[in-house]
Amino acid sequence: MSLPLWTWIPLGFFIFAILLDIATLVISFREKRTIWPFEPFTDSNNADAASKPLDGSSRATVASAYQPAASLADAFPITPFAMQYGSQLNQMGYQYVGAFRHVKGGIYQIRYDVMVSADRLILAFVAAGTLAKIPVANVTLVSLGTRPSSFAPGQRSDLMCGNVSMIAEAAFEHDFTGRTISMVFPNASANELQSLHAQRWGTLQPQPFGPEPLGEYHRYCLDVAEDAERRGSLYRVDDMPNYQRPHPGSAILMFVAMKKFMWGRRIWPHRWRVKRLPPAPFGA
């Protein structure tokens, strides 16, 4: 007996979703995770853009603690999205650090503009560009510090951890060590995102970034990557020290964590969750 026509439409969506999940799971087994995805601009045609704030005002120096990019074949213009959020962050007192591209290159045509807050408690990444010709745009705020014992009982009091707040869930990456906790706040303005991020400081005692904020965040990412390897979750790709792959069991765990993050934030939005977190000990 044939099914009525109207039943094929939801059935088609269901089958498509299942096939998409299968494809995502397969990719999880082979996808190389970058430990540090940021590569500075060094192409002569883009050197000025790499050291200039998004609003075109005073010059700033690109962090010098990293190996320079070999070349920059394609232009990475500042998009309207990046200009909008960069201008908002600039008005909030953020200091410009520099412009970077995704280290993978190829289909990853993404520009990152990095800024640090005036109190140096927050590192901001404004990402815009294309991934496989598909437009991508995101703002990520990062703070590093230690967890209060009341929030993380049994954890070393000196263990560096991180809170990450973003506006696009596609930027979520599962941390196998549990040291980095991510939340997504879709469509938040820069000011709202900072306010929501600061409300999470009841779960993190933030430490201000020093004169090389990207260097500190780089060392944190390396430490987390090595921690994941010690736990047996990831392994380093041969001859590619900046890349890791998950073991089979970890790939499944990563897929489940991603689905949990995506559906969990729809059932219980993170905007609601921050209201249930411990109060910040100082002016959030």
Per-residue pLDDT tens over the stretch 153-169: 777 888 999 999 999 98
Retrieve residue 242's tokens: 């900046």
> 108-116 and 123-131: which strand pairing?
antiparallel
Per-residue pLDDT tens over the stretch 182-226: 999 999 999 999 999 999 998 999 999 999 999 999 999 999 999
Retrieve residue 16's tokens: 């498509």
User: Which residues, in sequence order, are CB contacts of 67 under 8 Å at separation 6+?
Assistant: none
Per-residue pLDDT tens over the stretch 15-48: 655 655 555 555 555 678 899 999 887 543 444 4
Retrieve residue 24's tokens: 């995502």
> Cα separation of 180 and 171, whole Å?
14
Contact 233, 176 (CB under 8 A): yes
> 95-102 and 38-40: which strand pairing?
antiparallel
Contact 35, 245 (CB under 8 A): no
Per-residue pLDDT tens over the stretch 98-127: 889 899 888 888 999 999 999 999 999 999
Q: What is the DSSP letter of 81?
A: H
CA distances from 90 to 52, 142, 176 (A): 12, 17, 34
> Cα separation of 129 and 171, whole Å?
13
Retrieve residue 19's tokens: 């096939």
Q: Which residues of 172-196 are buried (b: 16+ CB within 10 A; e: fewer)?
A: bebbbbebbbbbbbeebebeebbeb
Amino acid found at 186? P
Retrieve residue 21's tokens: 């999940």
Q: How far is CA 66 from the centre of its chain?
A: 19
CA distances from 271 to 21, 176, 217 (A): 27, 24, 26
Question: Order of strands, edge to edge, in the sheet holding 33-34?
Answer: 33-34, 240-246, 234-237
pTM comes to: 0.81
